[in-house]
A = this chain, B = another copy of it.
Amino acid sequence: MKEKHIAYKRAVNYYETDRMGIVHHSNYIRYFEEARLLMLQELVMDYAQMEKMGIIIPVTFAECQYLLPLRFGDEIIIDTYMTKYDGIKMEVDYRIYRKDSDVLCTTGRTGHCFLDEDLKPIRMKRKFPELYGKLKNLIEHVEKETK
């Protein structure tokens, strides 16, 4: 069976740390974006391509729990799952691990909607049925997996 989530590998950059010596908490929100856009690219469609088709997917909420700090030099893995999708809204969950251990460092979630270029909601099922199907496919897998 085809993989339905991604495990995004990344190193912590020096400029992402702050004077506490750890990754500044705002940067995790950027890590989540990188992971989410990679998930779309690998499993659905390139987001740059979606924008060309007139679809934008802004963030409606973001949350992050900081369990253990990340530092410069850390190699990390961001497990990324779509957890809700109904054709109008979606939610994505993130879990960050250091590559060399199974210890969970960070958890997070972002919420999104689908808008056209006039910032009006798009009914994905009607307007982009193929894309809708691909997105729906991701969430159905997770639903089955967690039963």
- Residues of A in contact with B (beta carbons under 8 Å apart): 13-15, 17-22, 24-27, 29-30, 33-34, 37, 46-48, 56, 58-66, 69, 71-73
A48 contacts across to B, CB distance below 8 A: 72-73
| Min CB–CB distance A101 → chain B (angstroms) | 17
* Contact between chains at B58 and A20 (CB < 8 Å): yes
Copy number of this protein in the oligomer?
4
Which of B18, B30, B60 contacts A17, CB < 8 Å?
A: B18
How would you classify the secondary structure of chain A's contact residues: helix, strand, loop or mixed? Answer: mixed
17 contacts between A and B (CB under 8 A): A13-B30, A14-B33, A14-B37, A14-B47, A15-B18, A15-B24, A15-B33, A17-B18, A19-B71, A22-B58, A26-B27, A26-B29, A26-B33, A29-B29, A47-B72, A59-B66, A61-B66
CB nearest to A63 among chain B residues: B63
